[in-house]
Structure 1
Amino acid sequence: MASANAAAMALHGAYRGKPAVLTIDGSEFCAHLKDQLWVQLPVKLVLDATLHGNALTVSMLAPPSRRMSYQRIISREQWGGRHKQKIMQTLRLFSMNLEVAAPDAEAFVDALLKAAYPRTTPHRRVIVLCNPQSGQGHGKHMLDIVVKPVLKRAGCAMTVIETDGPAHAYRVSQTLKVTDYDVLACVGGDGTVHEVVNGLASRSDVEQAMQLPLAPIPCGSGNGLYISLHGAENGFVHYLACLNVIKGTPHVHELMTITQDVHDMDANAWPYTLRGQAADGREYAQYYSFMSQAIGIMADLDIGTEPWRFIGDLRFILGFLVYAIRNRPCHADVDVLFGERGTVSLHEMRRGSDAASRSKEEQRPMPVSPHSLRYGSVLDPITLATTPYDPAMPDAELLRNEWMRLPMPLSFVYTGKVPYVARSLMAFPYTHPHDGLIDVVAQDQRVTLFNKIAATSHGESGRHIYDQGVHYMKVQALRITPRNKLARHRYISIDGEKAPYAPFQAELSELYMTLLSLDDEEWHAPSLRPPMLDVPAAH
């Protein structure tokens, strides 16, 4: 029989003829079989509960049963520390079927679903865009054996579209009826998300389209966005990614606007359709980046190691070693605009990131002019400050509203809005999804090979920003101009995708994307937790 109070509720039934008791106690779901603990899980892992007559089915994500017992246990503490624990990697789909007394069961099912979905509603309408070739065919495999079964057990209404080549996800996102869905799930890598973001951003109803929540399901080699949301230990936990689709809550993530000369664009290779006109009448292409832009070593290893995708994110470490030994300089002019809140102080970045991680995210309206530019396009002339940038400058001496050129020869420039670009590289440890700034990492070409190789061991924890010859700053806009547009085997990478090797300008966009996160209260995902770097607090 069922007994209900504010703290706990129980339901008695039978499993294969054996007496069973299900309980809800606060945020925990338990099942006992013949007076022995059978299941103990955070109720957040319960996907659905359905009752047909006297037959009750409860579907959940749970670890495999322990050896020599039926127990499937994840404690509250393990769930709370899931960003740093490997137990989430053991999650699998599990259902229990019991015979129960229908009058008592109806009240229990209602209470269980309310506890399992405290801030969201069950049975979401989900459109799944899958790149079946992602991860050497891993995307199709995960779609069939994980994504579809989990969403089906959760009672979600699914629409599944498998992409058939480059730009397909972009075209689908341009035309889908966004009001028909609660979530858009991207099965693939960061490139799939990049296409979806640009497809939604190019629509006439862009303000409404960009509020459709996105949830990545990782099948690429980098998966930077997913890892930034769920932690490096959970970099390929597809069941956790599906749980985010089912129960995640929406949060704001700023975008960066990229402009390039339209004459430098190959419409077949870079098909995005937004266009603008500079003051002199020339036309520029405009598109959006949610994760990163790179030139030099970091772009070369990202694009140049494409044939190594079969080894996963290890390719980034090996690629960096190869290109560091080659030691080719990045022949490009790099101009930055700090604006009123830009900084080069690592101490201030740490303070700002820590304060932002404790603050409540403010809801913001979509902009009236979503594609407007604050600082012009890449085709507009800029005036460089007469005072040259000096890496030793304190914040007080920065020229806030003038463009400043980085004077040193560089190995690479890497800019972004998520901390992780791969499981082994926390490229931007002090970035924040809505702080109004772009993080920039640049490495001096003149540092020794030892210093460059050391960065590979420091990058996993974000400590590379303290390495000799590494410059880390926050800016509001930047322009990168390759000096030789005809250089062979040199690349520009935008969100891990090969972009035209030509000048580009980036600034914080008026638009933002909407992402889902599993954190229970405010958005305290890894991207909002400043890392505890084992280094001095100041540069």
Structure 2
Amino acid sequence: MAAGRRAPPEPGGGPVLLQGVFGAGPSPGAASCSLALTPRELQVRGPGGSCGGSSAGPDAALRLADCVGSAAFPAAPSAACFSLVCYPLRGPRWGSPARQRLERTFRVCLAPDAEGNLRIAQAWSRRIRELSVPVVPAQDERAHHAHEKVRDEDLSQWDTLVVMSGDGLLYEVVNGLMERPDWEETMKKPLCILPGGSGNALAASINHYAGNDHVAKKKLLMNCAFILCKGLHTQMDLVSLSTASGKRLFSFLGFGWGFISDVDIDSEKYRRLGNARFTLGTLQCLAKLRVYQGRLSYLPVGPEQGTSTPSSRDPPGTLPNGQAGPVPLGTEVSGGALPADSLLVPLCQPVPGHWTVVPEEEFVSVYAIYQSHLGTNLLMAPAAGLHDGCIHLFYLRAGISRLALLKIFLAMARGTHLDLNCPHLRYVPVRAFRLEPRTAAGIMTVDGEALACEPVQGQIHNRLCRVLTGS
């Protein structure tokens, strides 16, 4: 995990690390100026000034957080120069500020020869580069380490949180951020995912949203690194999940129970195979295909898809007043409290009357996904977007053959699984859902991480965080 650095807001640059008098430009006749380099800025004073020792402060202070580079080079006849390029925020008295390019060059002629002056210039340039490094890496050392780090650490000096791993580590980061008392402000910082796991579903989804061709491995990493360099970001939905044991979790990818979750967790022992672990895990789970019993309920956005005619037992969703149509998201935030799940009732109560209860209670798999990709090579919800305000709910009813199930997953690589018109596969966009297993059997997962099998419900919260994207 890493973070894009920004200088802290408090004044003062800290202790002076380097100090000297140089020409205020590359030409031999440039006026002299005093420079003092601190951990946060390069302080510049005009002729006669003594930087770092006066309470009046420097004539100019170049923030190293705005610096993108520095270089040293020789200058005729026997001098040398070092320069730095910054992009400070500047703007009109009214309106939003914008970053503008600022380049400063200083002439070094302290040593009697060109070689000595170049060494001095190189020392200053090297130190400026070291102090303006844009990222600070943080190694994930143990389970839940990332969760604890982002929950407890002062994040005010960082602009962006970059996670280089699989989806599981980003899940830790998101939930750690949501446990902070200042979560509303912190969640405005963009998140960035660089694929370093085996599934890499969010990275594949962002690559898909950017309009790029389907790629994997190093090419996917390169595309995501390019997205990071562009620095463009947008909002992303999160889903709030509540369990019968009292946990509340926030998910950016998906929640599953049954076959898909079995494949995800059972294939962990083949993690060294990369994305191929899921192919091997699918074949193993097909050989021992299981059926799970439970009740599935949801608040739909519109009529179900995936069949040629709507089922009379699965009516379209309605508003409480009886009018068909989408239900407001109802994300309520007040006084730093977490957003209220206004579409849900406690798990101990029946679902509201305008919800749909699936009549079948035997399933092979249930999966609620909010991104386009379930994995690098699985385009599960082609219509999904980062902030479409929708949970894409898929469920497979019992009775499906192994061959039909295999065909669905092969077609999912192209995103054409719904075109098969399999009578056992249902897809419905929803705002909220509830799943109540009859027994604690099977594996539940959230964003690829295992969860205890128990009643769970969730609802979408629109545009709750930000993520770096290609456009």
- TM-score relative to the length of structure 2: 0.64
Aligned partners of 2:332, 2:188: CA distance in 1, in Å?
9
Match of 1:220 among 193, 197, 210: 197
Please name the residue that 1:256 is paired with.
239
Deviations along 1:23-71, one digit per CA (max 9) or x if unpaired, are xxxxxxxxxxxxxxxxxxxxxxxx966443469xxxxxxxxxxxxxxxx
Q: 1:155 to 1:451 in 2, by over 3 A?
A: farther
Aligned partners of 1:110, 1:198: CA distance in 2, in Å?
35
Alignment of 1:294-443 (within 5 A): 294-338=256-300, 341-345=301-305, 367-368=333-334, 369-376=337-344, 379-383=347-351, 401-407=354-360, 409-443=362-396
1:286 counterpart letter in structure 2: R
Match of 1:457 among 392, 402, 410: 410
Q: Helix, strand or coil for the counterpart of 1:474?
A: strand
Q: Helix, strand or coil for the counterpart of 1:421?
A: strand
| Contact 1:219 1:236 survives alignment (8 Å) | no
1:160 counterpart letter in structure 2: P
Please name the residue that 1:244 is paired with.
227
Give the drift of 1:405: 2.2
Q: Does residue 481 of the first structure (1) align with residue 436 of the second (2)?
A: yes
- TM-score relative to the length of structure 1: 0.56
Aligned partners of 2:430, 2:296: CA distance in 1, in Å?
12
2:452 counterpart letter in structure 1: P
1:253 counterpart letter in structure 2: M
Give the drift of 1:443: 1.4
Give the drift of 1:173: 1.0
| Contact 1:298 1:414 survives alignment (8 Å) | yes
Q: Which moved more, 1:189-198 or 1:315-324?
A: 315-324
Q: Does residue 167 of the first structure (1) align with residue 127 of the second (2)?
A: no
Please name the residue that 2:159 is paired with.
182
Aligned partners of 2:297, 2:192: CA distance in 1, in Å?
34
Aligned partners of 1:50, 1:327: CA distance in 2, in Å?
61
Aligned partners of 2:419, 2:391: CA distance in 1, in Å?
18
Give the drift of 1:291: 0.2
Q: 1:377 to 1:195 in 2, by over 3 A?
A: farther
Aligned residues between the structures: 332
| Contact 1:367 1:511 survives alignment (8 Å) | no
Aligned partners of 2:130, 2:291: CA distance in 1, in Å?
53
Q: Helix, strand or coil for the counterpart of 1:230?
A: helix
Gaps of 5+ in 1: 1-46, 56-100, 112-118, 124-151, 263-283, 348-364, 386-400, 520-539
Alignment of 1:128-143 (within 5 A): none
Give the drift of 1:453: 1.1
Please name the residue that 2:247 is paired with.
285
| Contact 1:372 1:510 survives alignment (8 Å) | no
Q: 1:196 to 1:513 in 2, by over 3 A?
A: same
Match of 1:507 among 456, 459, 470: 459
Give the drift of 1:120: 7.6
Aligned partners of 2:206, 2:263: CA distance in 1, in Å?
24
| Contact 1:410 1:445 survives alignment (8 Å) | yes
| Contact 2:344 2:432 survives alignment (8 Å) | no
Aligned partners of 2:202, 2:241: CA distance in 1, in Å?
19
1:498 counterpart letter in structure 2: A
1:439 counterpart letter in structure 2: H
Q: 1:251 to 1:120 in 2, by over 3 A?
A: farther
Deviations along 1:472-523, one digit per CA (max 9) or x if unpaired, are 11011111111111x3xx210100000111111011126612100133xxxx
Which has the larger helix fraction? 1
Please name the residue that 2:16 is paired with.
none
